[in-house]
């Protein structure tokens, strides 16, 4: 069924583009000329009182459905028909699921201070990509802010907080224990399992403020380089290929690739690590 508003649009098209007289255009779409010359008032103006009352109820009770909102309006003394209220309810798109903001704990601002010393702060983050067959995988990146060294590129289809703690255990066994970890507010990082692990190790968790990736700028800049040179540059068929390329690229990044902020030298040349021998690196990638 064609609504009167749609018929008015068709008449406007016939009159403006096809140069038909209004009388012939109205006859073609079967709309009275009086209805064309005297369109109804705009709904927002006609239904302003309903809109105001309905939005007020929804603002106070965002989880209520239509019938609870309508019954509340009746209890407030409004006698509008439920069909009219429901039409406006749908026009305001209140019938669609309303996303609520994820609750994240209040964080203090984390200063981005990185003294040239190893194991002061490790930065962690995740990247997402897909294999050639469409399967999704994630990469956990770990960076030492002291010399910008990539400590780990852990690729897997699933990386829960327990797996993150396992990777960190392996890094601590090889490189020593950091004083703190710089994290965002992802579910793996705020999970209880990682918190227990950090408390057992005596490592502080420095969670950045929500929506402030600049407070974790070193790992964000590293992630851009890694995505450009690895994830966007290769088409991986299997996860084993991702691991192989990661291992080769990580060694090149740490020992060969010049780093602008380090004076044009690689991280391990800027600040060598006692555990940066080939044997240690092979143990880490095992």
pLDDT tens profile 195-228 = 999 999 999 999 888 888 889 999 999 999 999 9
Q: Residue 180 forms beta bridges with which residues?
A: 121, 204
Per-residue pLDDT, averaged over 53-77, amounts to 91
Between CA 255 and CA 94 the distance in angstroms is 57
Between CA 75 and CA 208 the distance in angstroms is 46
pLDDT at 35: 86
pLDDT at 154: 96
**Residue with the larger pLDDT of the pair 115 and 6:** 6
Ramachandran angles phi, psi of 89, nearest 5°: -60, -40
Between CA 266 and CA 256 the distance in angstroms is 6
Dig out the tokens for 62 from the structure: 């965002």
Q: Are strands 136-144 and 121-130 parallel, antiparallel or unpaired?
A: antiparallel
Between CA 77 and CA 237 the distance in angstroms is 65
Q: Is the pLDDT of residue 99 over 70?
A: no
Burial class (CB in 10 A: 0-12, 13-18, 19+), 76: exposed
Between CA 153 and CA 124 the distance in angstroms is 10
pLDDT at 285: 46
pLDDT at 100: 58
Using 50, 70 and 90 to split pLDDT, how confident is the model at 286? very low
Burial 195-229 (b: 16+ CB within 10 A, else e): eebbeeeebebbbbbeeeeebbbbbbebbeebbee
HSE (CB half, 13 Å, CA atoms) of 248? 7
What's the pLDDT tens digit per position in 253-267? 999 999 988 889 999
Ramachandran angles phi, psi of 217, nearest 5°: -70, -30
Burial class (CB in 10 A: 0-12, 13-18, 19+), 26: buried
Burial class (CB in 10 A: 0-12, 13-18, 19+), 133: exposed
pLDDT at 93: 83
**Residue with the larger pLDDT of the pair 103 and 25:** 25
pLDDT at 283: 47
Please list the alpha-helical segments (H only) found in the chain. Answer: 4-16, 22-29, 33-37, 43-46, 48-60, 66-75, 82-91, 161-175, 192-201, 217-226, 239-255, 267-270, 278-285
Average per-residue pLDDT in the chain?
A: 87
Which residue has tokens 């749908």? 90
* Percent of all residues in the chain with a pLDDT value above 90, rounded to a whole number: 58
What's the pLDDT tens digit per position in 170-199? 999 999 999 999 999 888 888 888 999 999
HSE (CB half, 13 Å, CA atoms) of 138? 12
Compute CA distances 263 → 110, 127, 252, 267, 272, whole Å.
25, 27, 17, 10, 15
Q: Residue 255 forms beta bridges with which residues?
A: none
Tell me the pTM: 0.61
User: Strand, coil or helix: what is 127?
Assistant: strand
Between CA 182 and CA 191 the distance in angstroms is 15
What's the pLDDT tens digit per position in 109-142? 776 777 778 999 999 999 999 999 999 999 999 9
């Amino acid at each position: 069924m064609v609504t009167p508003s749609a018929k008015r649009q068709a008449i406007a098209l016939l009159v403006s583009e096809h140069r038909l007289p209004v009388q012939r255009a109205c006859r073609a779409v079967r709309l009275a000329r009086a209805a064309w010359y005297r369109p109804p008032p705009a709904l927002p103006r006609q239904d302003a009182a309903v809109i105001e009352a309905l939005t007020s109820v929804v603002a106070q009770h965002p989880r209520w459905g239509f019938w609870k909102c309508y019954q509340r309006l009746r209890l407030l003394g409004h006698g509008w028909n439920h069909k009219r209220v429901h039409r406006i309810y749908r026009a305001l798109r209140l019938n669609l699921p309303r996303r609520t903001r994820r609750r994240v704990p209040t964080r203090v601002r984390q200063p981005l201070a990185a003294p040239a010393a190893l194991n002061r702060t490790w930065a962690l983050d995740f990247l997402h990509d897909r294999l050639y067959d469409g399967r999704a995988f994630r990469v956990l990146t770990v960076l030492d802010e002291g010399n910008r060294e990539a400590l780990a590129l852990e690729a897997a289809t699933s990386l829960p907080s327990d797996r993150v703690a396992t990777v960190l255990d392996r890094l601590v066994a090889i490189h020593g224990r950091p004083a703190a970890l710089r994290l965002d507010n992802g579910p793996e990082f705020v999970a209880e399992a990682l918190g227990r692990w950090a408390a057992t190790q005596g490592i502080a968790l420095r969670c950045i403020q929500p929506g402030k990736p600049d407070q974790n700028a070193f790992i964000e800049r590293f992630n851009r380089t890694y995505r450009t040179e690895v994830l966007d540059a290769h088409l991986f068929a299997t996860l084993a290929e991702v691991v192989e390329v990661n291992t080769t690229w990580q060694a090149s990044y740490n020992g060969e690739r010049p780093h602008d902020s380090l004076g044009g030298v690689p991280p391990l040349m800027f600040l060598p690590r006692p555990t940066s021998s080939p044997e240690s690196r092979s143990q880490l990638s095992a």
